[in-house]
Amino acid sequence: MARRKREYERGSRKVESKRKDLVPGAIADIKDLDLKDKPVAVFGLGDSAGYGDNFCDAIEEIHDAFSSAGAKMIGYVPTEEYQFEASKAVRDGKFLGLPLDANNEDDLTEERVKAWTAQLVAEGMKA
C-alpha cells in the first residue's frame, strides 16, 4: 500500500506541474468570454482521504472564472455527504459544483451524478 501511495504522489506532482502551465491561460480565456446569464455548472475530481485539506480546490478557481465572465452559476452541492478537512470550493456550506472522489467514494459516484444532472435541469440547464 505504501508503495502505491508513493507512486500516486509522484504522479500527482507531475500532473500538478502541467496544471500550473495550462490553467492560467485557460482561466484567462474563460474570463474573456461573454457568458452573460448562461447557465454553467462545474465538477471536479479529488481524493478526500489523500488530499482532504484541499479537496477539489480547483472547482473554486474554475467556478470563479466562469462567474466573472457573467455566467449564471448553478449546481451547488451540500457538503454534508462528504468526508474532507477543507476545500476552497466551499462557500456558505456548499460546494461550488459537484466534487467526485473515485479513490474513496467510487460507489457513490453514479448516484451523485444522476442527482446532480437532475438538479441542473431543475435549475435551468437544458437537457
Tens digits of residue pLDDT in 24-54: 788 889 999 999 999 999 999 999 999 999 9
Contact predicate 54/60, CB 8 Å: no
Q: Torsions phi, psi of 72, nearest 5? A: -85, 105
Q: What value does the mean pLDDT take over residues 68-93?
A: 97
Task: Give residue 107's domain range.
Answer: 2-122
If pLDDT is split at 50, 70 and 90, which confidence band does 127 have?
confident
Q: Please, which residues have CB within 8 angstroms of residue 34's CB and are 6 or more apart in sequence?
A: 69, 70
Is the whole-model pTM more than 0.95? no
127 falls within a domain: no
Instruction: Quote the number of domains for the chain.
Output: 1
What's the pLDDT at 9?
43
State the Cα angle at 21 between 16 and 26, rounded to 5°. Answer: 105
19 falls within a domain: yes
